[in-house]
Amino acid sequence: MSTATLTVRPRSSLTRLRDSVGAESTKLWSVRSTWLNLVAAALMTALLGVQYGFSTAYDQTHLPPGELAETTQVGAIAVNVVLIVQVLVAAFAMLPITSEYATGSIRSTLQWTPVRRDVVAGKAIVLAPVLFGYGLLVGLIAAVAGGLTAGQWADWDLAELVKDLVAIAAYTTLAGLFTAGIAFVIRTTAGTLTAAFLLLLVLPLMLSQSSLRPLMWLAALLPGGAGQGLLSGSTDPVPPVVSLLVLAAWAIGGLVLGLKVLGRRDA
């Protein structure tokens, strides 16, 4: 009597990564929180855009004596709106990680994908293009809503609008990936959102208001400060290209730190 032999061939690293990306994509789009976040972001962006548009029109029609009215780039309105809406972007990026720790499904994820770098890489690869599209969407909504309500005081220069939208999309992508990285470190939704809120908004805003040059530099080197430098196009204290590199370094550093922590801790 012959004996049947089962041969199991190990999967290649590329196959493992492809399977991880497929699994993460399915998980991202199959939960309600993803769609609720997108809808909430679209609505909030539209409302803030309308508010900025009306404020722009009011300011230009109620100028002090001697001041001349001028138009505002609709892309600039989008930038101001996104700096507020970025909290929702951070929430979108962290939920695929923190929700798994909250429900315990991270154990299943690590059983299906035992090579932990594939887990981090899979989530990052899925999130990156989605976050880029997220930024384009909210930026466009803010620009259109703000421009329409600003009326004659809106400047619809297409080249400037495209430049601002690309900058917004780059910022939401890198800031979101940074948030995803620290989500692997902190693991809880409240803790991750608090850390992201501090580093992306509160600390850079506080430090940048200081008259002390070292504190202004420190603000520019934080992820939120680098993002503000990129979106505003300001060259003080660093040019936008440097701001982009700083932001990319934070995103990569956050993911690397998240991978190291995931490799050391039990799920």
* DSSP letters for 85-129: HHHHHHHHHHHHHHHHHHHTTHHHHHHHS-SHHHHHHHHHHHHHH
Judge whether residue 9 has pLDDT over 50: yes
20 and 117 Cβ atoms separated by less than 8 Å: no
Instruction: Give 192-237 pLDDT, tens digit per residue.
Output: 999 999 999 999 999 988 888 899 999 999 999 999 999 998 888 8
* Burial class, 139, CB count within 10 angstroms (exposed 0-12 / middle 13-18 / buried 19+): buried
34 and 92 Cβ atoms separated by less than 8 Å: yes
Over the chain, what is the mean pLDDT? 91
pTM for the complete prediction? 0.92
User: Average pLDDT of 113-140?
Assistant: 95
d(CA 186, CA 189): 8
Type and span of the H or E element at 145: helix 116-150
* Burial class, 9, CB count within 10 angstroms (exposed 0-12 / middle 13-18 / buried 19+): exposed
Judge whether residue 8 has pLDDT over 50: no
SS3 263: helix
Instruction: Give 55-92 pLDDT, tens digit per residue.
Output: 999 998 888 887 888 999 999 999 999 999 999 999 99
Confidence of residue 6 (pLDDT cuts 50, 70, 90): very low
